[in-house]
A = this chain, B = another copy of it.
């Protein structure tokens, strides 16, 4: 028997708490909410409106959000309030299901996988431990086997770990490389001496994702020990340039223990020459990791697979199923060619989660291999879609998107007032609008203003990227509803916005939502006042029409 000095009740009290709070957890509240959300999503998804994003000023949105919060005295499930919150959410969301969405790498998802998220939220299988996520850990195994066959790896020889995002997957892989090659770095820390060949360093392509660059800072290697590998004209790492860069690094006393390649760069979707880089890395006893977040999905396509064949030579690579396999975020797969290295990233144990007695179960669980303790069982969204629709569904959509991007490329390349920037290796295409009236040194400014105006108008949504100091427009085709006609319409729209800029006309915003903010002009002013470019408006930097400039 013990004292219970910290307990708030007298010892022996039998509590009978009938608080209002139990209503929040009631079955009825689930039923009501599920009906409202299903109806709301149905209305949101139906039809075929061209929509991009309705960008609203943060402070106005903050007020709107605050206004929707219940008075503490009257709090409780209120269908009207819930519906209003959903409206505000949907209004401020990028319309990824629309043909107007061409801006980013996150995808319109397979609906059945989105619905499944309601199950994994309500009846969780936190997936790091077999006991807590039985089917999730089994699905890891199934998907590993499916992908192993596509990569060409032998069952049992490799390992796959599902994790939350390519940033985390890449950090995990480089950590495995560091722990493997820099002896004692987990126990002793990262020293300047490394493995006795010089100061530890990491090599990445000039176009690598910022998360790959962050890794050197996080893992104690240091940003200054990042060797940047030069690119060729297609913005792929150039193997000869890479060799020279590694030689130069060695001459400076740096020991590159990990080379990171990319399959599907964020900027243009380029895939580095993976096999050549693998050979280069391995010739120097370095680990070769590939950030295949975007193009790793090519593995599922008989037509596209050859483009990423070099993944088979990598020591590790990751892909984002929430990008190009069309399931909800975050669902990333990290592959190790050698199964035995999969648990060296986190060489540790804790008694309450790792049970030494459950051998068969332990072999299935991912907890010693991934960073997360509680892990969303996102792998199940992928397995579910794979189980229902098969590999062919992913393949067909990817093939379609790649074909479509080529069509867009050809169409834009034909236009005298446009330049394409990249030959599409993926579903990403960069291009520049160059009407005759714009001086070459203002082209970047024009593309930025075009991006802003197109976005502000609300029908189409493009992104922009800065390449070698120039800003270019960027199109990512993630939606199977988009056709050549949409690209034709987009080009017309771009020309019209350029004319508006030339002639000093403001953007007219298209309103989509019934609950669009009342003061449309103010919204535009707020957006344009902050993100508009004074250079287009001031006298001495005007881009205006030739007559105006004269």
Contacts and interface: CB of A to CB of B under 8 A. Distances in A.
A165 B373 CA distance: 8
A291 to B, nearest CB: 11
A326 B228 CA distance: 45
Interface residues of A, number: 209
Interface in A29-43: 29-31, 33-35, 37-38, 40-42
B17 A403 contact: yes
B168 A24 contact: no
Interface in A374-433: 374-376, 380, 383-394, 396-397, 399-400, 402-407, 409-410, 413-414, 420, 423-425
Contact of A410 (B12, B122, B123, B533): B12
Given A37-B118, A55-B134, A404-B15, A69 B1 contact: no
Given A44-B123, A186-B217, A221-B189, A7 B406 contact: yes
A167 B371 contact: yes
Interface stretch (A106-114, A491-499, A506-514): A106-114
A222 B187 CA distance: 5
A157 interface: no
B122 A41 contact: yes
Nearest to A134: B92
A72 B123 contact: no
Highest count of chain B CB atoms <10 Å: which of A94, A114, A225: A114
Interface string A181-223: 0000111111110000001100000000111011011111111
Interface stretch (A124-132, A237-245, A281-289, A541-549): A124-132
A19 interface: yes
B164 A132 contact: no
Contacts of A340: none
B141 A20 contact: no
Interface string A314-339: 00000010100010111000000000
Contact of A222 (B138, B189, B200): B189
A517 B474 CA distance: 52
Interface stretch (A147-155, A255-263, A357-365, A434-442): A357-365
The 4 tightest CB contacts between A and B, nearest first, are A220-B220, A189-B222, A7-B406, A30-B111
Given A8-B406, A25-B326, 20 more contacts: A4-B409, A6-B423, A7-B423, A24-B388, A27-B111, A35-B38, A65-B139, A69-B387, A70-B387, A81-B388, A89-B123, A93-B123, A124-B329, A126-B329, A164-B164, A167-B371, A192-B192, A266-B352, A357-B448, A360-B530
27 contacts: A2-B409, A6-B424, A6-B425, A7-B424, A9-B403, A25-B111, A27-B42, A29-B110, A30-B42, A34-B34, A37-B118, A58-B134, A61-B134, A62-B142, A70-B390, A72-B390, A89-B125, A92-B135, A93-B124, A95-B123, A113-B121, A167-B371, A168-B372, A189-B200, A189-B225, A209-B350, A360-B530
